[in-house]
Structure 1
Amino acid sequence: MGKHNEFGKEGERIGVDFLKNKGYSILSTNYRYLKSEIDIIAKKDGILAIVEVRARSNDRIMPIADTITPQKIKLLVMGADHFVTDNGLDLEVRFDLITILKNSKIFKIEHLEGAFYHF
């Protein structure tokens, strides 16, 4: 596995731990449906959080949050819809983003709740 893939997986583990520490229940990680993959599906206070995790070692070229394309959002929505339907859930759904910036051995973590919306 390439170093960037290893760091991506490490970022997802950091994201899970971060959400657990904020009181979220983790329902699924790396949930796949067709071409959709959702990094983390978590629940807190009656809200289902569909969480995309982005981990980078620098953000000089563009901010991490700007790396999510409209196609990626479309796939996240499709996967979330399938998860909700398949599990018979009746919850408010929110799309979140966790960004992890690693400089040397220091991690900067941001959790953007409601990072984007589907209309």
Structure 2
Amino acid sequence: MSERRAAGEAGEQLALEHLERRGLRLLARNVHARGGEIDLVMLDGATLVFVEVRSRSARGLVGALESITPAKRRRLLMTAQTFLARHPQHAARPCRFDVVGITRDDERTTLEWAANAFEASA
């Protein structure tokens, strides 16, 4: 496994543990649809939460939220729509898109959770 992939998986696990400690419940990991992937699908009460996890080094030029381009948002939306079509029992739930940014440097790891980070129309 590449170093980048291993760091991504470790970041997803860290994000999952953080969100579960705050009461969210995991429904699915690494949901794939044509052209896109959602890292985590969770429930926050009755709300379905699609979570994008972004791991960055402290030396990176842009932060986690800024790294999500309009094209990435469209792919996330398309993948969320595919998830809802495959799981119609969740189709009537309110939905939101969250981003968990993980920044690593040599000394520490910081995690930033942006709930409702962007609108579905983006």
Q: C-alpha displacement at 1:105, in angstroms?
A: 4.3
Q: Verify the 8 A CA contact 1:96 1:114 in the aligned structure 2.
A: yes
TM (norm. structure 2) is: 0.91
Aligned sequence identity (%): 28
Q: Verify the 8 A CA contact 1:57 1:102 in the aligned structure 2.
A: yes
Runs of 4+ displaced beyond 2 Å: none
1 CA distance for matches of 2:54 and 2:17?
Answer: 15
Partner of 2:101: 99
1:48-84 CA-to-partner distances (Å, cap 9, x unmatched) read: 1100000112154122211111111111101111111
Task: Tell me the matched-pair count.
Answer: 119
Q: Structure 2: give runs of 5+ residues left out of the alignment.
A: none
2 CA distance for matches of 1:75 and 1:63?
Answer: 19
Q: Structure 1: give runs of 5+ residues left out of the alignment.
A: none
Give the match's secondary structure for 2:77.
helix
Partner of 2:52: 52
Q: Does 1:86 align with 2:86?
A: yes
Q: C-alpha displacement at 1:16, in angstroms?
A: 0.9
Partner of 2:34: 34
Q: Verify the 8 A CA contact 1:59 1:101 in the aligned structure 2.
A: no
Q: Does 1:118 align with 2:120?
A: yes
1 CA distance for matches of 2:120 and 2:36?
Answer: 15
1:21-59 CA-to-partner distances (Å, cap 9, x unmatched) read: 111110001000111100000001111110000011215
